[in-house]
Structures are given as structure tokens and as C-alpha cells.
Amino acid sequence: MFYPEPIAKLIDAFTRLPGIGPKTAARLAFHVLRMKEDDVIDFAKALVSVKRNLFYCSVCCNITDTDPCKICQDKSRDQSVICVVQDSKDLVAIERMKDYQGQYHVLQGAISPMEGIGPEEIKIAELLRRLSDEQVQELILATNPNIEGEATAMYLSRLVRPFGIKVTRIAHGLPVGGDLEYADEVTLSKAIEGRRELS
């Protein structure tokens, strides 16, 4: 009510982003006001483009602009291992290590009874479909080392048991309660190297 409507609308839009309070939103909105028009247009186009030009890979459910995604297209990668992660940022964190050469499956979330997210809300059915089709020998569960991530890993290990596939969980040493994407490369590399088979 204190700002002209266009600015108030932009502030409101920024506050809908995670981790942005009203003060930061106002600062960002006024920053946009001072930006060159071309830069603002590029910024707006980038925002629209992530919605219009990106979708889930039909194989691994990673966010992609080609289908299958570049990783699924790469036939030089090991087809016998699938590393299961919660989201695309975790995949990027693991790719950055350049150690892992297998496939991925991106769940696009984790099971969270607290937030009402059940197994049907994430990409578990898509994973099971891959297990019956493909020559998969090992599933590495690389969900986050927090309550939701552990619950998801336990659920998956039970679900996958009938397929007779080796199921491993990345080692601890990752900060408990933490987020995979923020782990440094050495910690992440060790966590995957030290993965244990779930019984």
C-alpha cells in the first residue's frame, strides 16, 4: 500500500521465493527498477523459459530440455547402476565430482508424512518401471541424510527387494540432517565410495 502497484507486485512476487523475506524482496525489486531494460527483459525471458522449455526426462525424471536427457543418451555410461537422488541439484553435485559414471533416477522429492508427501507424489513408479525393463544390477540410494531422505531410502529398499537387485545406501559422514547438494566434493565422493549394502 506504500508502493506504486508495479513495485508492490514485484515485491510480492519475490517474497514467494524460498528464503526471501519482505526486506530482501523490496531490495531486489528496487534493484530491478535500476537495471537496464534489456537486462530486465533477459531476466524475465529466463524465468519464462525454465517453465516452457524444460520438462522431466522420460527415463530418469531429471529436468531436461532434450528427451532423453544428455546423461541417459550417453551410451558410454554404465547401464548397470542407478543412483537415486531427490532432485536435479543433487545429481549436479554428484556429476561435479566426475567419479560416478552410472545412471541416475531423480525422485523429484522425498517421502514426507509431515508434509503429506507420499510415495505416489514422487517418481517411484517410474523407477520401478526401469528396474523391470533395464539391466540394472545395483541401486545406490543417495537421498539426503535427513528424516525424509532416510525414510525414502528405507521405503525404496523394501520395495525393490523382490527385484533381486543389490541396494546400497551412501555412507554416513555426510552431515546428518543436511542436504546432499551442499556437501563438498570429497565428502560426497567418500560417501558414495563407502556405500553399504542394505539388508
Q: Using CB under 5 A, list all residues that contact Zn ion.
A: 57, 59-60, 62, 68-69, 72
Pairing of strands 166-169, 138-141: parallel
Of 122 and 174, the one with the shorter C-beta distance to Zn ion is 122
Cβ-proximal residues to 141 (8 Å cutoff; 6+ apart), any chain:
84, 152, 153, 156, 157, 167, 168, 169, 170, 198
Of 103 and 144, the one with the shorter C-beta distance to Zn ion is 103
Of 45 and 70, the one with the shorter C-beta distance to Zn ion is 70
Q: C-beta of 80: minimal distance to Zn ion in Å?
A: 16
Q: Which of 161, 172, 119, 118 is nearest to 139 (CA)?
A: 161
Q: C-beta of 86: minimal distance to Zn ion in Å?
A: 15
Torsional class of 116: left (φ above 0), alpha (ψ -120 to 50), beta (otherwise): left
- Distance (Å, rounded) from C-alpha 130 to C-alpha 135? 9
Of 123 and 195, the one with the shorter C-beta distance to Zn ion is 123
Name the residue type at position 79. Q
Q: C-beta of 68: minimal distance to Zn ion in Å?
A: 5
Q: C-beta of 56: minimal distance to Zn ion in Å?
A: 8
